[in-house]
Amino acid sequence: MKLSRLLAVTCLALLPLGAAVSEDAAPARDTEGWTPLFNGRDLSGWETWLGKPHKTVELPGLPKNEKGEYTEPVGLDRDPRQVFTVVDVDGRPAIRISGEVWGALTTKAEYGDYHLRFEFKWGAKRWPPRDQTVRDSGGLYHCVGPHGAGSGFWMRSFEIQVQEGDCGDFHSVDGVLVDVEAERKDPADPKSLLVYRRGAPKVVGHKQRIVKDPDNEKPTGEWNTLEVYCLGQTSVHVVNGKVNMVLTGLRQVVDGREVPLTRGRIQFQSESAEVFYREIAVRPIEEIPKAVLP
């Protein structure tokens, strides 16, 4: 039995929990408990945030300095360049994120103790300052605080990386902390990247990138399915049916103290690359299925 079908059967009997805390929530759950976050028609239930554009972007009226660099963000629910739109791709509706201006598409509702699932596919367009690098985006979960707290573009959050060759990696946005079983990519270099290894010694309080293992990403141009299980202070990254990251001790620093961060909003990044998202849905969970964490 395929993992996706096994997970559906395993979670079918879970009792629904009131995950959303906003009246802007998506339509009702289906028979397996899934609540779609994208209705296939428009961006109802979402808001947009765009930071300071690259100087090559034409946005009349937005202030620039003497170097031609923008000095203010575009802001909340302002999208003059149509960075976020609904389009038809491969005969089905999808959210197009152009990537021309960095920012995020954000749910208006908050979620905790849930299973998130979405599909993505890369487009052809790329923009400065990363028009010559790998395509990049990302799914952010447990997003809290103000827009733009992370580098001027994203909320404080945990990231499941959506990037060519790196899908499933972890990034800390605005300093969130995790514990992870991992090894150094270069054991002789204590500053080299951490790589997730099930059963390895636990690294405590990490707030930098963690490389996924294994790699289960499909070639550019194909649809990928990414999932995140969030329960209490644990999250699990799944790429095309394979677990490639388990994080524990999810937390943030507030007034100098580390406190659990177990719920928040969901964001999808705009970051110099055209990308399409579809089949975005969440369902509440009371446990992480044994098919995921045996």
Cα 183 versus chain centre, distance: 24
Run of H or E including 52: none
Task: Outline where the chain has alpha helix (H).
Answer: 3-11
Residue 290 lies in a domain: no
39 in any annotated domain: yes
Q: Are 14 and 102 in contact (CB under 8 A)?
A: no
Rounded CA gap, 128 and 21, in Å? Answer: 37
pLDDT in tens, 201-237: 999 999 999 999 999 999 999 999 999 999 999 999 9
Q: Is residue 279 part of a domain?
A: yes
The whole-model pTM stands at 0.90
Domain that holds residue 45: 3-284
Collect the ranges in the chain with pLDDT lower than 50.
1-26
CA 121/CA 138 separation, integer angstroms:
12
> What is the rounded distance in angstroms from the CA atom of residue 238 to the CA atom of residue 256?
32
**What letters, b where the CB count within 10 A reaches 16 and e where it falls short, cover 175-209?**
ebbbbbbbbeeeeeeeeeebbbeeeeeebeebbee
**DSSP characters for 223-280?**
-EEEEEEEETTEEEEEETTEEEEEEEEEEEEETTEEEE--EEEEEEEE-SEEEEEEEE
What one-letter code names the amino acid at 229? Answer: Y
pLDDT, position 28? 66
For residue 37, tell me if it sits in a domain.
Answer: yes
Place of tokens 């605005």: 174
pLDDT of amino acid 27? 54
Q: Is residue 292 part of a domain?
A: no
Write down the residue that tokens 């969130």 correspond to: 176
110-139 pLDDT per residue, tens = 999 999 999 999 999 999 999 999 999 999
Domain membership flag for residue 60 = yes
Question: CATH number of the domain that 208 lies in?
Answer: 2.60.120.560
Count structural domains, the chain: 1
Residue 23 lies in a domain: yes
Is the residue at 291 inside a domain?
no
Q: What's the pLDDT score for residue 30?
A: 73
pLDDT of residue 264: 98
The secondary structure of residue 110, as a DSSP letter, is: -
Contact 264, 44 (CB under 8 A): no
Placement of tokens 């997970």 in the chain = 7
Q: What is the pLDDT of residue 6?
A: 42
Is the torsion defined by CA of 205, 283, 228, 175 positive or negative? negative
